[in-house]
């Protein structure tokens, strides 16, 4: 089932909807809200415990703050759509429960980030051998499931199901994904700065490489989202696999971390170029 290209070209030829006019305001508010939460200083350091069934998790306060900042744009998108256009809200909900898609999209969503980052790790270890244990696929799968209800879900509500859909009412699919990718990367900067503990002379190169990588993955996410029939569930799974793969693989590198980021950014851009060509070819049909 393919709905997005037909819909997006129809919308571009028609009148502008109210949500399109306010999209820049939504993006600006999302940026301001997340950055404020991430950069707000904590008065107390500590953690709390979360018990699920027989599992007991220790959750640090600073991780909670980061998670709230990540989820904030999705909450804002749902609130925004509910207040402005209830049809938009229903579209988001329908895309989230659209699970009857080809099994290959589930496989692609889980495997694609794992393959890209494992390939990057293999090249890195060839030049910078490490004695640390190799990442476990079991840990990757478990972490993927734990991540889904948090950042991946709420980010994709904001970026793909809301922002990308509005951008595609005015621009072609590839252009929309690139515009969103630039914003998405810029939105991440404080989060990268905090979690990667950036500093010194490598900070700017690392941020630039991460930005390039995110722009590439924005094209990949848009391709998967549109070709899976705008199934938000599939792209949430892809996002969770991306986060889980980086969390599983990156800590196993003892040296050459910037080399790993450069290789993974290069592979991400290569993948985006391949899919971008297919986006342009498909758009030309209409």
**Structure-block tokens of residue 216:** 């590439």
pTM (2 d.p.): 0.89
pLDDT value at residue 13: 39
Q: Are 252 and 135 in contact (CB under 8 A)?
A: yes
| Non-local CB neighbours of 58 within 8 Å, separated by 6+ positions | 47, 48, 49
Residue located via tokens 């959750």: 59
pLDDT for res 16: 45
Q: For residue 200, what pLDDT is reported?
A: 65
What b/e string do you get for 84-95 counting C-beta neighbours within 10 Å, with b at 16 or more? eeeebbebbeeb
Task: State residue 99's pLDDT score.
Answer: 94
pLDDT of amino acid 53? 65
pLDDT at 21: 60
Residue position matching structure tokens 């196993």: 252
The predicted-structure confidence for 3-61, as pLDDT tens digits, reads as follows 443 344 334 434 444 445 689 999 999 999 999 999 999 877 888 777 766 777 777 88
Q: What is the predicted pLDDT for the residue at 7?
A: 43
pLDDT per residue as tens digits for the range 53-83:
677 777 788 889 999 999 999 999 999 999 9
CB 188 within 8 A of CB 210: yes
């Amino acid at each position: 089932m393919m709905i997005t290209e037909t819909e997006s070209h129809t919308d571009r030829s028609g009148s502008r909807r109210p949500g399109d006019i306010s999209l820049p305001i939504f993006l600006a508010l999302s940026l301001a809200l997340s950055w404020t939460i991430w950069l707000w200083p904590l008065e107390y350091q500590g953690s709390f415990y979360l018990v699920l069934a027989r599992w007991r998790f220790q959750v640090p306060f600073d991780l909670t703050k980061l998670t709230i900042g990540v989820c904030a744009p999705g909450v804002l998108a749902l609130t925004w759509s509910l207040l402005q256009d209830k049809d938009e809200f229903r579209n988001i909900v329908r895309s989230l429960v659209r699970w009857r898609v080809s099994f290959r999209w589930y496989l692609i969503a889980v495997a694609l980030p794992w393959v890209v980052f494992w390939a990057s790790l293999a090249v890195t270890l060839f030049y910078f051998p490490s004695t640390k244990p190799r990442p476990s696929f079991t840990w990757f799968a478990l972490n993927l499931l734990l991540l889904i209800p948090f950042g991946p879900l709420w980010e994709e509500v904001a970026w793909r199901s809301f922002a990308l859909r509005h951008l595609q009412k005015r621009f072609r699919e590839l252009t929309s994904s690139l515009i969103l990718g630039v914003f998405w990367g810029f939105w991440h900067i404080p989060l990268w700065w905090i979690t990667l503990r950036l500093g010194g002379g490598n900070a700017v190169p690392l941020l630039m490489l991460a930005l390039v990588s995110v722009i590439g993955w924005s094209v990949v996410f848009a391709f998967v989202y549109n070709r899976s029939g705008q199934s938000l569930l599939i792209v949430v799974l892809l996002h969770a696999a991306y986060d889980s793969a980086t969390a599983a693989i990156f800590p196993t590198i003892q040296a050459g971390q910037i080399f790993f980021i450069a290789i993974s950014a290069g592979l991400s851009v290569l993948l985006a170029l391949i899919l971008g060509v297919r986006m342009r070819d498909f758009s030309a049909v209409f």
